[in-house]
Amino acid sequence: MYESIKKFFGFCDQKNRNKLYRAVLFGVLDAILGAMKIPAAFVAFGAVINQSIDTKTILLVIGLMLLSTVGKMTINRFGHMLETEAGYDTCAQKRIQIAEHLRYLPMGYFNDTSLGHITSVTTNTMEQVGDIATRAIMMVLQGSITTVVIGVGMFFFDWRIGLIAVIGITVFFFCNKVTNYKVAKVAGEKLESDRDIVGVILEYIQGIAEIRNYNIVALNTSRVSKAIDRKVKADITAELAAIPAVGIQMLISKLTGVVIAAASIWFYMSGSMDLVYTITMLMCSFMIFESLDAAGVYTALLKIIGKGVDLANEITDLPQMDIDGEDIKPANRDIRLENVSFAYENRKIIDNVTLDIKENTTTAIVGPSGGGKTTITSLIARFWDVQEGKVTLGGRDVRDYSFDSLMENFSFVFQRVYLFEDTIANNIRFGRPDASMEEVIAAAKKASCHDFIMALPDGYDTLVGEGGASLSGGEKQRIAIARAIMKDSPIIILDEATANVDPENEKELTEAIENLTREKTIIMIAHRLKTVRHADQIIVVDKGQIVQKGKHEDLIKQEGIYRNFVSGRKQAVSWKIS
């Protein structure tokens, strides 16, 4: 129980940890104030039994009761506010921390890890922790403290009753340990089922077009149903694991109260306890476990909270790329790969590649699918770190650069464009967040997308759907190019940016790319002949190696992949429907 509490305190930053410390302090004061009802009742019972009621006694009793009641109300208000702020702020900050940490992880992590896992941790898991963690922790701590305060107080009244209380508390905590053990066994499956259902539903929504197209609705609906059934089963199992043990520990607390009451009456009847003490102990028998019962219910949640903390820490503990380099402004933008090798999951993708790309030149990379073209551009931009050899920019190893200063040199336009669920203007501004509206429009005009934007209902203030779902492929590409124009980086990487563009958009997209790439260093992955034939150098990549290199005029004369590539494209262009 207390291991989970300690784990959550370590999960918080110093500011929120201090809030929780203050909330615990308020909990101690709350327990002391609550226990003040006992001496107030003792004084009142003694005055009634001894028939010694006077103004001083009445005022003392009323004063103690008012101090207890008003003090608890005030303390609870501040304590609850502190714990709530600490819980929600901790989870908000942790989401930001996870996002920042993900930013500098190798791209291989996102190939290994499902979107559902990341989404589940940052939404469901953090929501559960934020909603229940601090409340559960405060209830457990406050209930334990209150019980201890009342239990210690009982020793001052009668050591025999105090001993009975201690035995009852010990048995209660033993049962509580059993509860935690049972919940710990199923907490992992509960959180795993949460992650699974998020991943399956996200996949279903993202692939709904393919699901309908290939008529596999039943298959995918079955997967969603199985994920839901798994979650239902995991939730029920978690509840059933906790309920019996929680019920037993509550029964122990009630029976201990009965034993305290029975012992107090027995001691009175045997003449070893005064009546005023007996009545006070009877009242204590109802009070001592009241807070601990409530705390016992929450202890079952602590293991789930602990597991949630572990899941978040698993992400933030992942080793980042070394991003703490120098803020370097290179003297030139010459790029060199020197004896570079890179493997992914023991499968070598790039094998001893050496390549020079001069500043303000165009390099086209072609080759069979899966040959390593995209991996080469990813290593140049340091989405991954090379495992052998080195990549340099301006004569400096890219690992010498701070990540942000390195990224200032690159702009990217990918085949699959992602637009954020925001206005078109703000999507273009991602290239430079402080850009004025006039600059946004100027970039859009250069990217040949101003006209279609103005034809939309709200122009530049039009909200695009998630991922840009409300726009065509060519429109999204041109907005991505406008974003890259806005960033105005000296090196442009185009990863099959025109591969899936419809003929209606091809002319505008070609003009947009020409505006983007003017007087830049261009590295393009392309499958279209007219895109690559005017490049300063063409690199043919196959099985992780550069198998051909040169200009179009030279490569077309050589036997090999490039000439086959050109022949295949010419045949495709000459096809006609008769």
Read off the pLDDT of residues 13-64 as tens digits, 9 standing for 90 and up. 888 888 888 888 887 888 788 778 888 888 888 888 887 788 888 888 888 8
Confidence at 337, pLDDT banded by 50, 70, 90? very high
The pLDDT of residue 266: 93
Q: Which of 54-58, 149-153, 370-374, 506-510 has the lowest mean pLDDT?
A: 506-510
**Are 145 and 31 in contact, with CB atoms under 8 Å apart?**
yes
The pLDDT of residue 213: 53
Give the Cα separation of 243 and 249 in Å (integer): 10
pLDDT in tens, 402-452: 888 888 898 888 777 778 888 889 888 887 888 899 999 988 888 888 888
What is the pLDDT of the chain when averaged over all its residues?
A: 80
Confidence at 85, pLDDT banded by 50, 70, 90? confident
Using a pLDDT cut of 90, give the percent of the chain over it.
5
Q: 0.85 exceeded by the pTM? A: no
What is the three-class DSSP state of 338? Answer: strand
Query: DSSP string of 195-257?
Result: HHHHHHHHHHHHTHHHHHHTT-HHHHHHHHHHHHHHHHHHHHHHHHHHHHHHHHHHHHHHHHH
pLDDT at 576 over 70: no
What is the three-class DSSP state of 492? Answer: strand
What is the three-class DSSP state of 317? Answer: coil
Two domains, one topology: 2-316 and 335-572: no
CATH 3.40.50.300 fits 335-572, yes or no: yes
Confidence at 575, pLDDT banded by 50, 70, 90? very low
The one-letter code for the residue type at 314 is: E
pLDDT at 571 over 60: no
Would you say the C-alpha torsion 431, 437, 443, 449 has a positive or negative sign? positive
The pLDDT of residue 123: 77
**Are 492 and 521 in contact, with CB atoms under 8 Å apart?**
yes
pLDDT at 578 over 90: no
Give the Cα separation of 33 and 30 in Å (integer): 5
Give the Cα separation of 467 and 115 in Å (integer): 14
- Domain chopping of the chain, boundaries: 2-316, 335-572
Give the Cα separation of 107 and 114 in Å (integer): 13
Strand 410-414 with 491-495, pairing = parallel
Give the Cα separation of 150 and 38 in Å (integer): 9
Which comes out higher in pLDDT, residue 245 or 388?
388
The pLDDT of residue 209: 55
Q: Radius of gyration over alpha carbons of the chain, in Å?
A: 35
How many helices (H) and strands (E) the chain has is answered by 23, 10
CATH 1.20.1560.10 fits 2-316, yes or no: yes
pLDDT at 331 over 90: no
Which comes out higher in pLDDT, residue 376 or 150?
376
Distances (CA, A) of 126 to 82, 101, 182, 285, 513: 18, 16, 23, 39, 42
The pLDDT of residue 392: 93
Using a pLDDT cut of 70, give the percent of the chain over it.
84
Long-range Cβ pairs for the range 46-52 (8 Å, 24+): 46/276, 49/275, 49/276, 49/279, 50/276
pLDDT in tens, 132-151: 777 777 777 777 777 777 77
Confidence at 335, pLDDT banded by 50, 70, 90? very high
The pLDDT of residue 533: 77
